[in-house]
Amino acid sequence: MRFGGIAWDVDGTLADSEPRHHRALLAASRRWGVDLAALPEAAFRGLHNADVWQTLQPRFPATLARDTWLDAIDDAYVDDAGPIHPMPGALDAMRGLSGRGIGQVCVSNSNRRIVVANLAALGVHDLVAGIVGLDDVAAGKPDPTPYRAGCALLGLPPASVVAVEDSATGVAAARAAGLFVVGFAGPGTPAPAGADLVTDDLRDVLGLFVLNGG
């Protein structure tokens, strides 16, 4: 199979952003007097915040609207001055694929403004042809809709697109959409089960592609 495009997960795959997401969750929740400091940093890895809300809602005032809470988390994330570091091989992989003429999109369970902030911090926003964020679709991962939307942005059938994921929910979404799935094992975290290929260095995805037209 010749692959023509790639759909990147962002948080935990391209960007080591989980610590910043965790800080944003804690900071936003403190606005309503809720202390979540006892939660492990990876408690909600791979989940979109709408599902996190379902878990945490009983801790918050009954009058608090979900969207108000979600907006507060996004605000705290964007305002965080802490750095966002690329995952191993991420920048080389994205730049290498761009040089080969391979279309790239980002498919995330974070809202678009978070994805844009991450890509800007990594300096790769100009390498991406499109973004599918949580606010762009009716259902987030593990539903296949985000990856189907990403393939549509690339103008490619799912079977010719590679998805790169670090979470079980992401792998499930990409497989259900019909993409070839690379499971990424980040520093200190295992690769998710169910991927077609596993790596701990994102430069390995370059081997799945050839020069367009070559």
In a domain, 213, yes or no: no
- 9, 16, 136, 166: the active-site residue: 9
187 in Cβ contact with 31 (< 8 Å): no
Q: Is 35 a known active-site residue?
A: no
Assigned domain for 115 exists: yes
Per-residue pLDDT of the chain (214 residues; tens, 9 = 90+): 689 999 999 999 999 998 898 999 999 999 999 999 999 988 887 677 788 999 999 999 999 999 999 999 999 999 997 889 999 999 999 999 999 999 999 999 989 999 999 999 999 999 999 999 999 999 999 999 999 999 999 999 999 999 999 999 999 999 999 999 999 999 988 999 999 999 999 999 999 997 554 4
Residues 121 and 192 in one domain: yes
CA-based nearest residue to 211, from 70, 100, 110, 95: 100
Q: Is residue 184 in some structural domain?
A: yes
* Parent domain of 31: 18-79
pTM for this prediction: 0.87
Q: Are 11 and 116 part of one and the same domain?
A: yes
Residue labelled with tokens 């403190």: 30
